[in-house]
Structure 1
């Protein structure tokens, strides 16, 4: 194993000087730096990252706990987090829990043992033991897909799901569609609750109240959408339209509708949520609510790195506005000529800091 003293001997300087070059803790003459760096390259010296973390109390590593890294929505979030971390010299340690309480607790302890500098947590369902352990741990933490919290040194980054649901429902109503089914997520899911509240408020504003049979909970996966659509189709008559609380649910529901012999969008119009890449390649291409997923991930890591690098307090709540992407899965209004959809957002997403409207943070460039 190559050590600092070996590098010092090779370059003809003191161990202290080598340490300053490696850690950047003091200015060293350029010629001396070159000799030390040449010796490092020749000997193949690699700093002990664990020892450096112990000495500096910083690992320049952020830990991230997520539900399922293979979900397209989570994958794009992770990409936004990782890109921002990499650009600022931080590594990302990713833990995929499958929403299992035991794994969440185990990974939380493992990340602390690895001496990560901060945490980003994005799990759809968290048990009381995990939430209690999260509240007790001392690391600055950013929560995503979560309810606002009053914990110390904790931020929450989300999209405005009430607004997104309202955009979806108002779009369906604008096409003359009033018999609208809602394919929700579990009642415990914070964003699902917000989307349901936003959808019901938009329907109520139009003088509509869907019967309980038109509101079906799913697991927010494609198989859940497929099963939910089959349950709707087992009733006396299919709905005119449905708003699925994410694109995976919409995709599963569209498959079930076709299996039942329905034509899309003539017999059934569909709006999803998230705007995952697959949606634009469906037939018909999926009209959806664009959630700025990459930007949410970048904003979460930006919050954490600002806190770590400059001591800037975490914003308690930060929100990004979604927007509607009009494609082909919703029929045109009766008597209205067909028009080609460009599949672009009809409004720009914007940052809203709930507790600090003048926040200087802004989302990363659009993906």
Structure 2
């Protein structure tokens, strides 16, 4: 069964349901031995109080949990939108939360979801060592991971983008336009398998397309200072083009280049992952490697609905959505300085 009830705990501990309730609320007069037995049973069985006081575990709530890293990131907002619309079309309400790119906050929201007696969940997982994610999997609920893989987990279906196609298309255009000093901005501190895979894709394509050159890879953090250092380092290295793995980095770096009097599309070419609305509104418009967020979102919903209907909640292969390079005004031919 997906959820453990208060009655299940009482039966396992050999006490009444009323006793379990009182002990959990630190009430009643019970021996220390009984209290410890009940608390140990609660922990071992993974009991989470039903916050809506619903006792019928088998009744469908028509509610699905959606968890993403950060709704302030336009990419995740665009990923959630088709998922919410797709679920609504099938009669499901959604509980949407964010992890703020931290395992602690992710696990807190997952605990809350389990207390809401959801029918299933679609999650953009944060990190590989998450007690919350492990607890969610252990519930045997319909569950789908979208956008990010988690190494070592094979029991949950994934819908992720394939970075190799878009990276290669982007670099092919840069090379055709005369770029030979290409910088790549990674972001390993996110602990995202998918974001790290983009770096692998760049390192794989660079030697072939740059005739043995590996490109210039720099690891960037989320702070303004880290992004400043990243820009200054790449400029010192003489790059003529930059590829950003993480769109929030790109947004800040565009501003930093402007502050340094460097014009995009003339003095510097720039490409970022994620086809978010701000990139389409800037001047010049920003070239992107699109993960096709809408397609990933729709496929995530389809997988979840299939699991709900079939009753098979574990297993499933990974669906790879190819990334697509969209060329815009931020990429141009290298300007050769007069000698």
The TM tier, using the shorter chain, reads 0.7 to 0.9
Matched, 1:194 2:197: yes
How many pairs are equivalent? 283
Aligned to 2:255: 255
- More moved, 175-184 vs 239-248: 239-248
Q: Which runs of 5+ in 2 are unaligned?
A: 1-51
CA distance in 1, matches of 2:238, 2:98: 38
Equivalent residue runs for 1:172-321 within 5 Å: 172-186=174-188, 188-206=191-209, 207-210=211-214, 214-219=216-221, 225-233=227-235, 235=236, 237-311=237-311, 315-321=316-322
Tell me the residue number matched to 2:168. Answer: 166
Give TM-score scaled by structure 1 length.
Answer: 0.70
Gaps of 5+ in 1: 1-49, 336-367
- 1:299-348 CA-partner distances (Å, limit 9, x unpaired): 1111101211244666321111121111111113679xxxxxxxxxxxxx
Task: Name the SS for the 2:56 alignment partner.
Answer: helix
2:323 corresponds to: 322
Contact 1:148 1:316 in 2 (8 A): no
- The superposition leaves residues 90-138 of structure 1 with CA deviations (integer Å, 9 ceiling, x where unpaired) of 1111122213333222221221111101111113435343343344232
Instruction: Say whether the 8 Å CA contact 2:128–2:150 is kept in structure 1.
Output: no
Per-residue deviation at 1:248?
2.9
Alignment RMSD, CA only? 2.7
Larger mean CA deviation between 300-309 and 187-196 belongs to 187-196
Correspondences of 1:7-22 after superposition (within 5 Å) = none
Query: Higher relative contact order at CA 8 Å, sep ≥6: structure 1 or structure 2?
Result: 2
Q: Tell me the secondary structure at the aligned position of residue 320 of structure 2.
A: strand
Change in Cα spacing, 1:208 to 1:280, as seen in structure 2 (3 Å) is farther
Offset, 1:68: 0.9
